[in-house]
Amino acid sequence: MRRRLIAALLLLAGTTVAAVLQSTPAQAAYVYQGTYIIRWSAFDCFGVFANGRSNGTQVVLTGCNTAAASQQWAVYQTGSNVYQINAYAGEQPLNMCLDGPDSSAFVTIYGCHGQHQQRFAFNGTPTSSFSTQLKLEANSDCLGIIGVLPSNQPSIQHGLSCGGAAASFFTLTRVR
């Protein structure tokens, strides 16, 4: 009797664990694609304003300097044509992602959380150098260059129609 009770409890416990494992969504695998600079023109690149490292720091266009950590971006594939773009700091990526926040049109860096504001689609697959629009996965809006920040640096904004004149193509060039 005791053995049957123990066997029944073990079977019940095993069934419960299996049900929990089946209902738990799988974590997306992050596959490193390389570290890139993101160019708008031959002279203008994405950079983190004032080398900031806090949530909400704006991403601006600044003179290209491929050695500047504030202009390097680690690209990770998280799904089929879905990418997360991490800000870089010296020898390793920060846990800060390129972010198209719901509350602002300005593109910023923000602690990586993997939500729709931080997932981008490219026109094609990352190579050593490729031209693409940066499209937010959730709403298919594109990034573009509009206006000037109070710092007199052009701002990078999201929420633009990918077919519109304001949406930009950017060139990603691998630096490591």
Tell me the domain boundaries of the chain. Answer: 31-174
Tokens representing 85 are: 């773009």
Which one is predicted more confidently, 93 or 87? Answer: 87
Residue 28 has pLDDT above 90, yes or no: no
Q: Which fold has domain 31-174?
A: Trefoil (Acidic Fibroblast Growth Factor, subunit A) (2.80.10)
Contact present, 78 and 30 (Cβ < 8 Å): yes
Between the ranges 85-99, 112-126, 134-148, where is the mean pLDDT highest?
A: 112-126
Residue of 66 and 90 predicted with greater confidence: 66
Question: What residue has token string 């390389």?
Answer: 34
Residue 3 confidence (pLDDT): 57
Q: What is the pTM of this model?
A: 0.78
Mean pLDDT over the full length of the chain? 79
More confident residue, 85 or 13: 85
Contact 145, 169 (CB under 8 A): no
Q: Per-residue pLDDT averaged across 140-162, rounded?
A: 77
The residue among 171 and 138 whose pLDDT is bigger is 171
Helix (H) or strand (E) holding 15: helix 2-23
Per-residue pLDDT at 162: 83
More confident site: 155 or 27: 155
Tell me the residue ranges of DSSP E strands in 7-141. Answer: 31-39, 44-48, 57-63, 73-79, 82-89, 92-99, 108-111, 120-121, 129-132, 135-136
Model confidence at 14: pLDDT above 70? no
| pLDDT for the residue 98 | 94
> Looking at the predicted structure, is the pLDDT value of residue 15 above 80?
no
pLDDT band at 10; cut points 50, 70, 90: very low
